[in-house]
Structure formats: structure tokens, C-alpha cells
Structure 1
Amino acid sequence: MNLFALGLNHNTAPLALREKVAFSSEELDTANLKIRAMLGNPAGGGIKEVAILSTCNRTEIYCAAEDSELASKKLKEFLAESKGVKFNELEEHLYVFLNDDAARHAFRVASGLDSMVLGETQIVGQMKKAVKTAQKNHGLGVFLNYLFQKTFAVAKEVRSKTEIGAHSVSLAAAGVRVASSIFGSLENSSILFVGAGEMIELCAAHFCAQKPKNIAVANRTVARAAALAETIGAKAVGLVDLPEILPKYDILITCTASTLPIIGLGMVQSALKRRKHRPIFMIDLAVPRDIEREVDDLDEVYVYTVDDLGKVVQSGIQGRKAAVEQADRLIETKVDEFKCWMTTRSSIPQILSLQERADALRMMELEKAKKAIQKGGDANEILEAMSHGLMKKFIHDPLTVLRNDPNLSQEDYEKVLHLLDRFYHYHIHHR
């Protein structure tokens, strides 16, 4: 069995493509089951385990498969077909990591080293949600279970032993910085949050710290909007109210799970007319986007996407180069541990076979001893004979086979002897 991770992110693919291949929470269950149903057989590469991570910055599929090369090829085709993207257009933006490279990638992602916001912590929660979804759909087995357990442990250690999260500038903080450059102080601004998820909560914390004069939260479910609004001193409204209330707000921050834009060109044009063309600053953190692309062409509207804010965030990364190097060194030690585990897992059939053969030899000597006892032999002599028989079978016979193997070099022979010597030395001193 082999591990691999296939995906694209903000470094390899533009937002226009990322939003096409993003999975909504409703799609994740179906996709997980479909991949294993369609590609679980030998013709599909034998994918047995699947976990899908889909965020605004990345879509990644982690798999355990019998034939990783064939499975990754078939998975690319599945992704292109299921998301309605041309294969060639998609493939040039995809990456595939195998086995220990897949582990290294997962460790770096969870540690915030592969994020748009270096050292951000939100990605760990998103990965844990992906794992829970995979678990619910029986997509996790021995390999992915171990991979993600190790991943979360590594991320925790990186954050506790390095300064990777120090002085990081979040997307929300970057949004405040850009808004302040447009409006100056935000104390006289009115802010509208669209959505009520984790990202909106983070943005609300940053923007509300600027003490704006009016705040509102709009959401499809008004009760959820009201729960967030109560914590930040805002009023709650439904999405159906957007066309009516939009003209009252200078800043709009949106991040919903909608698969289609909820703020269209016509709605914004009407709002601008009622605002007498006073500018509106809009932050669209959703993938797929909540705001129609054409809105960005309006002169009085400043639209920032996740990628636009990402460029603002990048400015502070160079100063933490030493922390990144330290984190990468730590991760490499954990990758080595993961490689050892994978090697052990791949050797299990041979180990089991060895145990069975050793047990068969043990039973042969035991049967001899039992027969000797039944004939009235001396117990001490019988035990002595049995121990010599076991020693011969476990040491003398294998060495005889090694000496007579024409394909075994002298160097290899000496290596085997050295390993046997280490084994018995360890056993004697640790029993």
C-alpha cells in the first residue's frame, strides 16, 4: 500500500481555478464515497482510503492505494470530470506527493508553512474537520489514520518549539490595514459581514476592534447571524435583505458556502446609485467567490479576494525565515520517523511469515521433547536436547543457507552476521 497526496493550492493555481475544484461541505461525503467506489478496484489503482481537504486556498485529496501511479492518474481524471474542468487545464496546476513526500507535505500544511498566512493556525482545524468527514464515510484506515495522527502531533510540536506563528499577519488583519488605507480611521465607517462562519468571526474581531459606527451581520439563517451579532454588538438580517441594506455600508466582508455569487453586479450598481457613488470596500474571502467578478470593474468599488489579501500578508514573511528553517529541520526528523513506520508496515507480511516458520520449527522440537518424555527419558537431558535443537535451527541452519547462496556477496554476508550479533547482544542485555 502506498500513500499519496494530490491537489492544488494558492501557489500553483489561480483563484478562478481553485473555486472550480473546491468541494462544498455537502459534496465531501459524496466525493469520498465515489472515489473509493470508482477507483477502489485494480483498474482504478486500488484506492482504499480517502480524505479530502478543501479550503479557500487549497483542494487536496490524501489517499492510500495499491498502485499510486495509476491511482493518481485516475484521480486527476475524476477531479476534472466531476468539476467540469478540462483535464489539460487542471493537470498543469496539480501536484502529487508520494509516501514520505506526502507526509512531509501534510506536516508542512498543518504547521502553517504552506499557508498564504505563514504560521496561521486555522488550517489545523480545517484538516481535523476533513479527517472527521473521512472517518464518518469510512475513508480512513491504518495508513491515513497514522498519517493524520502524526501530522497533528508534528504541527503541535512545530508551534511549541519554533516562532513560526510569531508576528503573523492574518487575512483579517490585512483587510483592516487595506480598509484603513482607503477610509483612514474606521470609526466613522459602517461594516456589513455576510456569513456567520469561523472566517467571518475572525474578521469581525479585527474590524470591530476599530470601533466602527454601525455593524450588521447577514446570513441565510438569521438565527446564526443573530448569535454572532449579539457577541459584537451588531444587528442581524437575512440574505434576502442585502439589496435593501447594502447602500448603507461602506465596507462589506463576505465568506459563505454558497456555490454561486450572492452579490451581483446589478445589486452593487443600484447600491452605488443610492450612495451617490461614495466608494465601497469589499472583501470576498469565499471560494467559490460570493461577489460576481464584474463588480471589480466598477470605479467606486474596491474588491479584494483571498489572493489580493495574500499579497499584503506576504510582506512580513521574510523576517521569519529563521523560524521556517527551524520548523523544516524539525519536520525532517518526523519524516524520517514516518519513513521507518512505512518500512515496517511494508515488511509485516514477511515478518508474519517468518514468525510462522519459526513457530513451526519450535513445534517440531517440542513434539520431539514430548515423545522423549513419554518414553521415560530424563527431563534435564530432554530439555538440553531441545534447546540445542532450537539453537541449531535458529542459528546454524540460516548461516548454512547464507554461506551457500551464490547471489550473496561477502559484504552482504558480513552485514547479516553483524545484524544477528546486534540482535543477540540486545536480547541478552535487555531480557
Structure 2
Amino acid sequence: MRLRVFSGLLSLLLLAACGGQATNPTITPPPTITPASQVEVLATATLDSSAQSEPTAEPTQAVAEPSNQPATPANADPNALIDTSMLTGRIYFIDPLGFAINSIAATGGDLQTVYKEQGPMPLARLGIDPSLQYLSVFKGDFLHIYSLDFQELLLLPTSFEPIWSPNGDGKFALLKLTDMGEIFVDVYDLKSAKPDNIVVSTLGYSADWLSDGSALVVHNGNQIGEASLSDGAFSPLGELVEDENGSWVVDDILSHDDWIYFHGGQVNLLGASGNGMQWWVLVDGVPQALGEIGGNGVSRVQLNAKREQLAYIDNFHVSACLTAQVLSVQNADFSSATLTPNLGPIADNTGQEIHGAAWNPSGDWLTFAKGSYTCADSGPIYATPQVFVWNPTNQALQAFEYGSYPVWVK
């Protein structure tokens, strides 16, 4: 697959960073892409999920308005009953104590325990591949890959999460940190004769698959490029130029159709709290900003089954103790405003964590877990996270059992 490149028009915006003013180039996005609003986190740690930030300058050319998205209900109660009778499948999640994986019906209720851990290490970061065939879970610094009936298929010493192929073919990429401080991207194939063998390896700090699964997109030094699945050969697609704003930090890459997006920022614009990252798109090999600067990193970036909607967890650093994490959804081409579930404002001296998020098989609902914590002299005090289901289109939100890292299973 060859990637097309597109042209854009350059305009400059002045953005505040690191306590002063810095010039951060932002361009009018290519056709069909409009700037995506970022969720605003106030210094008081009050989060209003219905607020949308306004662009700081008019675009230099006419662009399409975001699709007609419903506003988040101001008085939505996450514990109020909604109609989930049409939902199918089951939701797996980690028990609050961390030594079991429970299951509930997607409509709510019918709580069952489907796996019990016999070892001394609690379970963490449950995940599932896009084809809903393979489960991943961590026990300490080991990644375990299971079939849906919890037959162990692979065990690897790592703290990095698998990056699954979009083809549902059992392949996944995995970052590897060597003793020399180098980071590689290794590819494994669960359907091979020896699934614990590395299929191919290439140097890279973050990675994703091309939309058709034919190759990897890798951040390698000051470049983003394509890495071959046959020999790991790297072909540059874009330059991340180091200038007065410093080198680039890239925490996630996204391939959608013929576009390459990434989330990151330059180190001198990150500020004391680190809030200086945003989404970018490569145009003619040059990074061009989408939306406004301000995030502290993203995780669990995933497209739904139709590859039309993008979900990710946005991180905003509030203080030395507090982080506000927000589940965000928008069109996969960043042509819509960001939608977030209405979980209510975050009180002073309170942090919010999103413990995993996953699409349902049809790609119109998400399940996630939300927890909160407060800061005390002895350290953070965590509340038990709770599992939710949420429809971004109509903003339906329902709270279920307590637990973390839910995944939707057929």
C-alpha cells in the first residue's frame, strides 16, 4: 500500500507555553478535516465534559462544519436506567480485588466469574484484539495472551501492551526496550508454528499498523515512516524537525485510510506539568496540527469495527498529585468535535482515571471503567472503579458493576 500525500495551507497561531508565548505552527487541515476541539481542564480541576474550546483563529479557507453531534445532557445521571435491551454479547472486566475476571451481560446483570488467578500477582490492563478472538492481560511485568476460553497462547516479559493487526489475523506488534536503552518494535504471529518467535523487528519508539495491515507505521528518531513486515526495512514518510522548540515526543500513531496521524509535541512546549501535546497529521511529510495544544498524552487509541469512530483516553495533568483522564470519541478523520461521557465535574483535590475502554462488536457503544482518587498527606486514596457502557451518538450512559479494564466480547 502506498500512502498518498496532500497539500495544505500554512497559517500561524500564537500559543502560550511554559509560562511565556511561543509560536506554534498550525495549518488549515486538508479537505474534510476540521480542527478537533480539546476538552478544557481548569486549574481548579473542574471538568465540564460538555464544554468545547473555540479556535484561536479563523481558517484560511472554507472547511466543512463538524457533523451534527448531540450535546451532552447537562443533567445526565450515570446511574439512571437506560434501555440497553438491544445490546448483545458480554463484558469481561477485572474484579475489584484483582484476582479474577468477571463477566456480565451487555444489558446488565448475570454476573459470573470466568477466570480466577492462582498466582500471587494481581491482574491488570485487560485488553482484546479487534477481531475479538484474543485476550491480553498483565501479571506483574509479564504479558499473557489467552484465547476467549482462557487457554494461554503466549507469555512474554514486557510492560508494553500489544498493538494488534487490524486484519484479525493473530499478529501484533510490541515495543521492546533493550539493556542498551534502544527501543524496537517486534512483530509476533499467534497463528505461526512458534508464536513466541519474533516475525520481524525494527527500531522504533511507537508504532501502529497501516489501515490494511500490510506494514507498520513507526516513529523512529526524528522521522515517521513505514516498516516492512518482511525485513523491517524503514522508509521515511515524514520529518519531525528539531528546532528551537526542541525534539519531539510521540506517544501514539494512527493510520486511517491514506492518512497518518500522531499524538505528540515538542519538549520545550510541554510546560512544567507536561500539558503540551496534541493530534497532528502528516501532509507532504510535514506535521500539521489538528486542534489546540494542551494534552498530557493519550492511551488506548482504537478505531471501531467500521473504522469510522476513534476512541482514546486523554490525559491532563492538573497538579503534582492530580491527573484528569477523559474518554474521548470523534470521527476517525478528525472532522468532528470531540465527544465525552458526562461523568459530572471533578471536585477540587480529586483526580479521575479511566481504567480501560473498548468498543462493542457493532462499533456504536463503548464500555469503560471510571475511578476517582483524592490526595492526602500519605498519598493518593483510590475509590473502586466502576464499569459503564456509553453510546457517543445519543449520549446514553449506564453504570454497571464495580471493576476495571472492561472489554466487550461477542
Q: TM-score, normalised by structure 2?
A: 0.23
Q: Would you tell me which structure has more strand in proportion to its own residues?
A: 2
Q: Higher helix share goes to which structure?
A: 1
**TM-score w.r.t. structure 1 length?**
0.22
Q: Which has the higher contact order (CA 8 A, sep 6+)?
A: 2
